Amino acid sequence: MAAKRKELKSSRLYSAIKDLIADHRFQPGVRLNVEKLTREFGVSRVPVWEAMRRLEQEGLLQTIPNRGVFMAQMSLERAFELFQVRGALERLAGRLAAEKSDRKTLSAIEKCLARQLRAVGKGDLVAYSQLDYEIHSLIYQKIGNRILQEMLESIKTRMQPVNLQVAPILIKLYEDHRAILQGLRAKDPDRVEKAFQSHNRRVLKRISEEIQAQEKRNPGRAKRRSLKIDKGIIRA
């Protein structure tokens, strides 16, 4: 019985810390303060370390000997791949959500968008990203397909540890969210799918631009990447 309670506590901590990561509490590359987390959750170090080991296995955290636990820094190439998959899944999710969204969900998305517009005006990227996460989660909850929802939630969480400068397209991303909401209100699957497609293409284009900029700054890196692709090795 004691072992079961310990497993449950560790599982809850794992979910709680994962939610903090998804909510942009920790930026890529920063060190996590284990002592602070134990105080925040009112637990011992053991379940916190167990939760972190699980998150490390998923690629969200990285342990550096004699230094501590750090947020992982995902490569832009891997982020591109994840957004490709997410984009395909979200087009289907949008169609399903268009048929099932209710007033409560639409009202919640509207409130998020009002706050998100203020974040755009202030250039607050963290607040914008947190609201982006919330908006997409609200939509996922209405698709009525548990397998699809689990896949989307997993991909969305894995997207967090990546440095991507979205400031130049922030207002356009907000407008995409507004178009998605309008399609949901109209219960128009085609309209919602089109808005999601535009939203994801915009992000993919931005990631591609940043990859190209990196390669211009470091031509040797671009050459190494090209060689790896030619050999059929997928970059992690």
Is the confidence at residue 83, as pLDDT, over 90?
A: yes
The answer on 184 and 137 residing in a single domain is: yes
The answer on 182 and 94 residing in a single domain is: yes
Q: What is the pLDDT of residue 85?
A: 96
What mean pLDDT is predicted for residues 193-213?
Answer: 95
Q: Which of 71, 101, 126 is the last residue of a domain?
A: 71
Residue carrying the six token digits 């134990």 = 38
Can you tell me the distance from the alpha carbon of 93 to that of 101, in angstroms, rounded to the nearest whole number? 11
Q: What is the pLDDT of residue 232?
A: 33
Can you tell me the distance from the alpha carbon of 33 to that of 136, in angstroms, rounded to the nearest whole number? 29
The answer on 211 and 117 residing in a single domain is: yes
Q: Which of 11, 39, 71 is the last residue of a domain?
A: 71
Domain at 9, CATH number: 1.10.10.10
In a domain, 235, yes or no: no
Q: Residue 18: give the domain boundaries.
A: 2-71
The answer on 86 and 40 residing in a single domain is: no
The answer on 83 and 67 residing in a single domain is: no
Can you tell me the distance from the alpha carbon of 113 to that of 136, in angstroms, rounded to the nearest whole number? 11
In a domain, 53, yes or no: yes
Count of structural domains within the chain: 2
Q: What is the pLDDT of residue 218?
A: 81
The answer on 111 and 207 residing in a single domain is: yes
Is the confidence at residue 3, as pLDDT, over 80?
A: no
Tell me whether strands 68-71 and 31-32 are parallel, antiparallel or unpaired.
antiparallel
The answer on 66 and 113 residing in a single domain is: no
What mean pLDDT is predicted for residues 90-117?
Answer: 97
Q: Two tokens at 60?
A: 């969200």
The answer on 190 and 96 residing in a single domain is: yes
Q: What is the pLDDT of residue 198?
A: 97
Please give the model's pTM, rounded to 2 decimal places.
0.77
What mean pLDDT is predicted for residues 131-142?
Answer: 93
Note the pLDDT tens digit of each residue in 210-226: 999 988 888 765 554 44
Is the confidence at residue 146, as pLDDT, over 90?
A: yes
Is the confidence at residue 172, as pLDDT, over 80?
A: yes
Q: Which of 41, 71, 101 is the last residue of a domain?
A: 71
Q: What is the pLDDT of residue 160?
A: 65
CA angle 213, 216, 217 (to 5 degrees): 90
The answer on 82 and 37 residing in a single domain is: no
Amino acid at 224: R
Residue carrying the six token digits 């968008």 = 113
Q: What is the pLDDT of residue 179?
A: 98
Q: At 57, is the pLDDT very low, low, confident or very high (cuts 50, 70, 90)?
A: confident
